């Protein structure tokens, strides 16, 4: 069996327990009409869904995609029988409490006992809220993030009406601290975004320089750890990477996405603020929603109104099963992913067919076929990507500035500004055991690409 189905049994058992909590209600016809028609539609849905890359399988080693943990899948599905809305306690009492508990456990990862935070639709929404709060505190000032930061930052800045400046990176995709300081000297910067785990290559911006500079220039430091945040639990980070993780708790706000490395279905981001008093910016009256309790309704501290309580239920269940602790089972999964990335990088760096310019800081590996010029190397990347896909091995592609190659391959002719590279997010722990097989297919694909 390729697809996990234990979830179905868990779900059936869980539903019995759930239903027993409502036994005092008169029967209301729980069955559904038209089973035959639904079965037909379901079969159509399943057939349509076959038109996807096999994200659940170790031979999908492309984008940041992996299946949710079975407990998350089961808990999410169970919650939809109630369909709670975490906007207000009136719409989802249990799931709001579970969200507060789960978010507090995430905040504790960064040493924050007091915090303000909540779940939201994903990394974009979470970053939007953090940058919006920064704008409330430093109105009219600019936002700076590195040239390797996620494209959402300039877009969000546009939405918020703030100007955005991109700071240059060093050859490893991390923000250049001296260049950042020059931008700060020019003045007018209200928020610096550091990325802990860039989308392209998993680079971790050093946090010591912006923290030092914050004292002098008084900006807010926001950390986009949407992808990399959970790696704070991993025991096998390089010392320079670990240094940034140790400083995460000093940021003013943080974003971490449970729907990336947190084993959750999509629709689960998380924004956290170190100082809970920023809640004042969310203050609003609602004539519709906050009636049944004087306790905090999550809609009172969130820009989104209706939100799926099911996301909180799934996250709570996952963290119950796999606590967010160092040395635990969840941490071991992250460590396996990182080790898989290091091993793949080592093989690539030792093989004369490849250029592997960046030692992975997390579990993302980027490489390109060795060739005399950036243009030719890019063409070959595309060919290897296509050839591997034909053999059911699915990578992603990304573009890196050609100067990132200068250290490891000074002879590469820079006949264009960027090199199209193969990119692998090794975010399934199974990838470690699958490495030989992945390598074998990659080597065959490379041979095919070179011969074509
Ligand atoms: C570092 C980083 N920030 C923000 C985002 C945007 O997150 P989302 O796609 O969940 O909106 C991503 C997505 O890959 C990311 O890697």
Q: In sequence order, which residues have a C-beta less than 8 Å from that of residue 56 and are 6 or more positions away?
A: 2, 3, 4, 66, 67
Q: How many angstroms separate the alpha carbon of residue 207 from the centre of ligand 1?
A: 19
Model confidence band, residue 452 (pLDDT cutoffs 50, 70, 90): confident
- Partners of 9 in beta bridges: none
At 72 the pLDDT is: 98
Span 368-412, pLDDT tens digits: 999 999 999 999 999 999 999 999 999 999 999 999 999 999 999
Q: Whose CA is nearest to atom 7 of ligand 1?
A: 123
Q: Please state, for a pLDDT cut of 90, what percent of the chain lies above it.
A: 92
Q: How many angstroms separate the alpha carbon of residue 388 from the centre of ligand 1?
A: 26
Tell me if 374 CB under 6 Å of ligand 1.
Answer: no
Atom of ligand 1 nearest to the CA of 195: 1
Contact at 8 Å (CB) between 418 and 400? yes
Which has the closest alpha carbon to 97: 281, 283, 298? 298
At 25 the pLDDT is: 95
**Helix, strand, coil distribution of the chain in percent, nearest 5:** 45, 15, 40
Asked whether the predicted pLDDT for residue 30 surpasses 70, the reply is no
What's the token pair of residue 295? Answer: 């306790």
At 71 the pLDDT is: 97
Which has the closest alpha carbon to 79: 309, 317, 319, 268? 309
Model confidence band, residue 272 (pLDDT cutoffs 50, 70, 90): very high
What's the token pair of residue 225? Answer: 């750890």
At residue 211, what are phi and psi to the nearest 5 degrees?
-65, -40
Per DSSP, which regions of 188-268 are E strands? 189-195, 220-224, 253-256
Tell me if 123 CB under 6 Å of ligand 1.
Answer: yes
Q: How many angstroms separate the alpha carbon of residue 27 from the centre of ligand 1?
A: 45
């Amino acid at each position: 069996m390729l697809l996990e189905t234990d979830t179905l049994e868990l779900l059936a058992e869980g539903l019995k327990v759930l239903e027993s909590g409502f036994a005092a209600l008169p029967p209301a016809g729980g069955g559904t009409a038209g089973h035959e028609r639904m079965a037909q539609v379901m079969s159509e849905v399943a057939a349509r869904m076959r038109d996807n890359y096999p994200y659940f399988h170790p031979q999908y080693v492309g984008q940041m995609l992996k299946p949710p943990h079975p407990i998350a899948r089961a808990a999410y599905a169970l919650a939809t029988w109630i369909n709670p809305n975490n906007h207000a306690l009136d719409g989802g009492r249990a799931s709001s409490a579970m969200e507060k508990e789960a978010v507090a456990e995430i905040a504790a990862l960064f040493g924050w006992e007091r915090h303000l935070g909540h779940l939201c639709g994903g990394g974009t929404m979470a970053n939007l809220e953090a940058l919006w709060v920064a704008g409330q505190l430093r109105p009219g000032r600019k936002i700076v993030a590195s040239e390797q930061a996620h494209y959402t930052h300039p877009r969000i800045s546009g939405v918020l009406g703030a100007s955005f400046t991109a700071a240059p990176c060093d050859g490893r995709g991390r923000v250049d601290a001296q260049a950042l300081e020059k931008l700060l000297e020019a003045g007018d910067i209200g928020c610096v975004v550091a990325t802990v785990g860039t989308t392209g290559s998993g680079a971790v911006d050093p946090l010591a320089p912006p923290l030092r500079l914050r004292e002098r220039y008084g900006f807010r430091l926001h950390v986009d750890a949407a992808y990399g945040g959970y790696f704070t639990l991993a025991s096998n980070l390089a010392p320079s990477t670990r240094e940034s993780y140790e400083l995460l708790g000093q940021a003013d706000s943080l974003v971490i996405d449970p729907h990336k490395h947190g084993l959750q279905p999509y629709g689960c981001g998380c924004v956290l603020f170190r100082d809970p008093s920023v809640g004042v910016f969310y203050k609003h009256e609602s004539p519709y929603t906050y009636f049944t309790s004087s306790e905090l309704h999550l809609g009172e501290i969130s820009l989104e109104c209706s939100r799926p309580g099911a996301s909180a239920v799934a996250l709570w269940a996952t963290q119950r099963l796999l606590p967010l602790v160092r040395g635990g089972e969840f941490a071991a999964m992250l460590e396996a992913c990182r080790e898989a990335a290091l091993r793949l990088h080592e093989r690539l760096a030792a093989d004369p067919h490849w250029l592997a310019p960046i030692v992975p800081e997390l579990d993302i590996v980027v490489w390109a076929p060795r060739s005399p010029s950036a243009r030719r190397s890019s063409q070959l990347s595309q060919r290897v990507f296509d050839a591997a896909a034909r053999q059911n091995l699915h990578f992603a592609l990304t573009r890196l500035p050609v100067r990132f190659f200068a250290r490891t391959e000074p002879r590469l002719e820079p006949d264009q500004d960027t090199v199209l590279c193969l990119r692998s997010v090794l975010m399934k722990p199974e990838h470690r055991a699958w490495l030989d097989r992945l390598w074998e297919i990659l080597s065959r694909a490379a041979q095919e690409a070179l011969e074509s």
